[in-house]
């Protein structure tokens, strides 16, 4: 639904811009630095392309924790840097209220246990704990997921998964093109111009 | 019913045309032909039925308008000829159906010619011509039905002209014969045919009773119901298509047809009893639309929930149900998203799969970034040169040295990305993914081949192509041309 070509295009553009800004192709970077820079560009690009969603904000928040990257991020995102300025206060409130909620739930579940038959309790509690565990894992996976409840978490997961897929596709594409470029002589401009003729096939 | 309904498929223009033509029999030939062209020009979006019907109805109109003035038998033969030509142009298939059509059409034809003979003594040649021209009649199952229908139309128009009793009898005869033929065909065919028989029988019923009230009132009511039902049909079909994937839309269409069919049945029965004003028909139509909309309601409606039959109605359980429905809907979507998850049921397992999928995607991103890192150390990464056109995005001033990098590499990437506006359906990455794979196979050989190809695709062409295509939404052609001319 959202994997339109324009979305992918924006992502590609942003990612390549990020590559350029972080000077990825220069030789004075270690492998790990380069890899991190690439990943950083890719993540920033995908967050930019997606627009204002919870996970994109969380992602940018995570990315900007590193001060060095912050400038690059600002340059990359430009006006969109105000993605961060969305309601962050939610994340502060919810953890506290979660403790209270958990306490209440525990009490209510014990009360319910007393009322129900044994096998029912076992099944329901088992199912609930399983689901809870998985939801916890999911919250760690999705950027900015800690501050979300069940529904919105599922929504954001969906969104995030689709964007990840687009990210993977875009990076794979860039990889292939650069690999293809690698095989020919980079200085021969005529050879390079030939490549468009393949595009039509 | 039929004419206007048929024309509903053609569009509002045809509907506007129709009443005026009903009133004035003059200039009949030109307008039906234009509507005929309309039918042909429009793409076959819905099922072929609607457009076949529109074409046939346009055919019906012309002879019906000519009827007061011209020779009926000649007109009928003309009709059949045009019908055959339509079928040829539509390019529809098997011959078994053509036989059906023939059998269904020929008895009405016989009756028509019989009545013609009664009236004007036209020889039975028309029959043979009809049979021969029906031979290329490789038509839809519905075509036979519609052909029979238009024959009945022709008869109906004759009601206004000729002796009522004789025509009414012929109408009944045609109805019986066509319904018989359709029933025979039905046993072989299936669901869609059952619709047609329903409609045919209804239609036949209408014909028989229409002979009494009079042609004009019947045509008016039929027009209203026809437009109504056609509008309903059209509304139901896009709705179905909008909500459901294209794969399941053929499944939607038969139920839609059945719904509209049953509705028409109701409407016509109502009309049989009383001469209903159009407002009532509209209310029936809206009611039916409501019924059609009901199965789709749970998809749209989050807040406003109706308590279903046999379920508790207190607020807690309603809220619970809303929650569960929301979750299940999202799980369904996630199931579609995550590959290989169709058969999985249960929240926990589904969540497991989602987690695995997200984790795998994240790992893929890591891996790809590593690969890109290894590549970049070797390559000077020419692709960056395409970005200078995008300068308004970045607030960092770009060094002009970037313009000096190879024009060609930027050009190719331009080309790559410029493909995007030209292709509405396929997305850019698929295209770009296709492109490198074709490159990789013959690395050096491919380039020698490409030289010959490139001879035609000169620099000027490339520049023009790029300039014409534009690039994305925010394309300024000047920077691109600057870049292309960079040394």
Please tell me the distance from the alpha carbon of residue B129 to that of residue B127, in angstroms, as a whole number. 5
Report the complex ipTM.
0.78
- Judged by DSSP in three states, B279 sits in helix
**Tokens for A191?**
């050879």
Helix intervals (H) in chain A: 5-21, 31-50, 54-63, 67-77, 89-115, 118-141, 150-183, 189-199
Give me the DSSP letters along B144-162: HHHHHHHHHHHHHHHHHHS
- What is the sign of the dihedral through the CA atoms of A65, A66, A67 and A72? negative
Q: What interhelical angle do B2-10 and B141-161 show, nearest 10?
A: 130
- B221, containing H or E segment: helix B215-243
B319–chain A Cβ distance below 8 A for any pair: no
pLDDT for the residue A7: 82
CA distance A123 to chain B (A): 13
pLDDT for the residue A86: 58
Contact B49, B27 (CB under 8 A): no
pLDDT for the residue B82: 60
pLDDT for the residue A144: 79
Contact B109, B127 (CB under 8 A): yes
B403–chain A Cβ distance below 8 A for any pair: no
Cα angle B208, B210, B211; round to 5: 75
Minimal CA–CA distance to B379: which of A45, A168, A169, A183?
A: A183
Residue numbers in B near A31 (CB within 8 A) = 373-374, 377
Give the Cβ contact number of residue B447 at 10 Å: 21
Cα angle B301, B302, B307; round to 5: 80
Contact B436, A180 (CB under 8 A): yes
Residue of B nearest to A162 (CA): B337
Percent of chain A predicted with pLDDT > 90 = 0
pLDDT for the residue A35: 83
Contact B95, B186 (CB under 8 A): no
**Residue to test with chain B: of A30, A198, A200, A201, most B Cβ within 10 A:** A198
Please tell me the distance from the alpha carbon of residue B99 to that of residue B135, in angstroms, as a whole number. 8
Residue A10 banded pLDDT, cuts 50, 70, 90: confident
CB contact under 8 A, A194 and B330: no
Please tell me the distance from the alpha carbon of residue B460 to that of residue B76, in angstroms, as a whole number. 60
Q: What interhelical angle do B30-41 and B12-23 show, nearest 10?
A: 160
Question: How many CA atoms lie less than 13 Å away from A194 in the CB half-sphere?
Answer: 23
Give me the DSSP letters along B322-340: HHHHHHHHHHHHHHHHSTT
Please tell me the distance from the alpha carbon of residue B329 to that of residue B399, in angstroms, as a whole number. 51
pLDDT for the residue B167: 43
Residue of A nearest to B472 (CA): A6
Residue numbers in B near A189 (CB within 8 A) = 406-408
Facing residue for A38 by CB, picked from B369, B431, B453: B369
Q: What interhelical angle do B141-161 and B48-66 show, nearest 10?
A: 20
B451–chain A Cβ distance below 8 A for any pair: yes
Residue of A nearest to B465 (CA): A196
Contact B317, B328 (CB under 8 A): no
Give me the DSSP letters along A124-163: HHHHHHHHHHHHHHHHHHSTT-TT--HHHHHHHHHHHHHH
Facing residue for A194 by CB, picked from B377, B428, B454: B454
Residue B68: CB partners within 8 Å, gap ≥ 6? B25, B161
CA distance A151 to chain B (A): 7
Burial class (CB in 10 A: 0-12, 13-18, 19+), A130: middle
Query: Could you say which residues of chain B have pLDDT below 70?
Result: 1-308, 311-312, 340-341, 344-345, 376-487
Residues making up chain A, counted from first to last: 201
- Judged by DSSP in three states, B73 sits in helix
Residue A128: CB partners within 8 Å, gap ≥ 6? none
CB contact under 8 A, B428 and A197: no
Residue A187: CB partners within 8 Å, gap ≥ 6? none
Cα angle B125, B127, B131; round to 5: 120
pLDDT for the residue A155: 82
Contact B200, B149 (CB under 8 A): yes
Give me the DSSP letters along B430-442: HHHHHHHHHHHSS
More confident residue, A181 or A46: A46
Please tell me the distance from the alpha carbon of residue B99 to that of residue B32, in angstroms, as a whole number. 28
- B14, containing H or E segment: helix B12-23
Please tell me the distance from the alpha carbon of residue B211 to that of residue A104, in angstroms, as a whole number. 77
Largest Cα separation within chain B, whole Å, is 94
Contact B127, B117 (CB under 8 A): no
Residue A162: CB partners within 8 Å, gap ≥ 6? A1, A2, A3, B337
Please tell me the distance from the alpha carbon of residue B313 to that of residue B157, in angstroms, as a whole number. 56
Tell me the residue ranges of DSSP E strands in B193-240: none
pLDDT for the residue A1: 52
Contact B223, B18 (CB under 8 A): yes
CB contact under 8 A, B408 and A193: yes
Burial class (CB in 10 A: 0-12, 13-18, 19+), B241: middle
Residues making up chain B, counted from first to last: 487
pLDDT for the residue B258: 45
The predicted-structure confidence for B105-124, as pLDDT tens digits, reads as follows 444 444 444 444 444 444 44
CB contact under 8 A, B379 and A25: yes
Minimal CA–CA distance to B150: which of B92, B225, B75?
A: B75
The predicted-structure confidence for B15-27, as pLDDT tens digits, reads as follows 444 444 444 444 4
- Residue window 238-257, chain B: list those with CB within 8 Å of chain A: none
- Judged by DSSP in three states, B28 sits in coil
Please tell me the distance from the alpha carbon of residue B440 to that of residue B434, in angstroms, as a whole number. 10
CB contact under 8 A, A180 and B440: yes
Position A15 pLDDT exceeds 70: yes
HEC-encoded secondary structure of B352-391 = HHHHHHHHHHHHHHHHHHHHHHHHHHHCCCHHHHHHHHHC
Residue numbers in A near B429 (CB within 8 A) = 5, 8, 12, 166, 169-170, 173
Residue numbers in B near A151 (CB within 8 A) = 323, 326-327, 330
Largest Cα separation within chain A, whole Å, is 81
The predicted-structure confidence for A161-179, as pLDDT tens digits, reads as follows 888 988 998 889 888 888 8
B331–chain A Cβ distance below 8 A for any pair: yes
């Amino acid at each position: 639904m959202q994997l339109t070509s324009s979305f992918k295009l924006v992502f590609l553009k942003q990612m390549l811009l990020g590559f350029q800004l972080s000077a990825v192709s220069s030789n004075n970077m270690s492998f790990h630095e380069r890899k991190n820079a690439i990943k950083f560009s890719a993540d920033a690009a995908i967050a930019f392309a997606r627009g204002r969603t919870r996970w994109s904000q969380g992602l940018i928040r995570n990315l900007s924790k590193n001060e060095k990257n912050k400038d690059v991020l600002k340059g990359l995102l430009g006006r969109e840097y105000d993605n961060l300025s969305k309601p962050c206060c939610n994340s502060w409130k919810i953890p506290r209220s979660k403790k209270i909620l958990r306490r209440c739930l525990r009490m209510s579940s014990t009360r319910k246990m007393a009322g129900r038959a044994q096998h029912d309790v076992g099944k329901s509690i088992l199912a609930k704990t399983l689901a809870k565990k998985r939801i916890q894992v999911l919250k760690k996976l999705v950027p900015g997921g800690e501050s979300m409840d069940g529904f919105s978490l599922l929504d954001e997961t969906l969104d995030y998964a689709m964007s990840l897929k687009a990210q993977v596709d875009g990076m794979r594409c860039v990889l292939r093109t650069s690999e293809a470029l690698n095989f020919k002589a980079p200085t021969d401009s005529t050879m390079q111009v030939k490549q468009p003729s393949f595009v039509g096939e | 019913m039929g004419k206007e309904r048929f024309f509903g498929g053609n569009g509002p223009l045809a509907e506007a045309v129709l009443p005026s033509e009903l009133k004035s029999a003059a200039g009949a030939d030109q307008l039906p032909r234009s509507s005929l062209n309309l039918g042909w020009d429009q793409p076959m979006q819905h099922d072929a039925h609607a457009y076949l019907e529109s074409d046939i109805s346009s055919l019906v109109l012309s002879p019906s308008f000519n009827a007061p003035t011209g020779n009926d038998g000649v007109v009928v033969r003309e009709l059949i000829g045009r019908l055959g030509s339509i079928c040829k142009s539509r390019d529809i298939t098997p011959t078994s159906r053509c036989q059906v059509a023939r059998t269904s059409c020929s008895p009405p034809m016989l009756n028509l010619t019989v009545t013609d003979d009664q009236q004007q003594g036209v020889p039975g040649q028309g029959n043979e011509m009809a049979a021969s021209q029906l031979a290329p009649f490789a038509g839809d199952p519905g075509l036979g039905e519609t052909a029979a229908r238009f024959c009945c139309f022709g008869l109906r128009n004759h009601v206004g002209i000729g002796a009522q009793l004789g025509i009414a009898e012929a109408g009944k005869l045609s109805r019986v014969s066509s319904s018989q033929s359709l029933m025979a065909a039905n046993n072989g065919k299936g669901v869609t045919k059952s619709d047609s028989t329903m409609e045919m029988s209804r239609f036949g019923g209408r014909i028989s009773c229409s002979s009494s009230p009079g042609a004009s009132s019947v045509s008016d009511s039929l027009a209203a119901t026809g437009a109504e039902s056609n509008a309903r049909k059209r509304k139901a079909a896009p709705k179905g298509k909008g909500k459901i994937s294209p794969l399941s839309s053929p499944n939607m269409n038969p139920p839609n047809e059945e719904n509209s069919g049953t509705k028409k049945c109701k409407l016509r029965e109502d009309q049989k009893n009383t001469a209903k004003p159009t407002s009532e028909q509209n209310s029936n139509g809206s009611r039916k639309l409501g019924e059609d909309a009901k199965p789709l309601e749970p998809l749209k409606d989050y807040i406003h929930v109706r308590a279903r039959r046999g379920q508790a109605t207190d607020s807690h359980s309603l809220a619970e149900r809303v929650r569960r429905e929301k979750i299940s809907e999202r799980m369904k979507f996630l199931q579609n998203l995550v590959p290989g998850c169709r058969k999985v049921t249960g929240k926990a397992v589904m969540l497991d799969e989602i987690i695995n999928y997200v984790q795998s995607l994240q790992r893929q991103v890591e891996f790809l970034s590593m690969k890109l890192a290894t590549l970049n150390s070797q390559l000077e990464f020419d692709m960056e040169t395409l970005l200078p056109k995008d300068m308004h995005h970045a607030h960092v001033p770009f060094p002009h040295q970037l313009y000096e990098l190879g024009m060609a590499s930027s050009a190719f990437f331009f080309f790559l990305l410029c493909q995007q506006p030209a292709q509405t359906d396929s997305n850019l990455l698929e295209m770009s993914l296709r492109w490198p794979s074709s490159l990789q196979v013959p690395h050096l050989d491919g380039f020698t081949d490409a030289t010959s190809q490139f001879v035609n695709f000169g620099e000027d062409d490339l520049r023009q192509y790029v300039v014409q295509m534009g690039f994305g939404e925010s394309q300024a052609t000047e920077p691109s041309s600057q870049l292309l001319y960079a040394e």
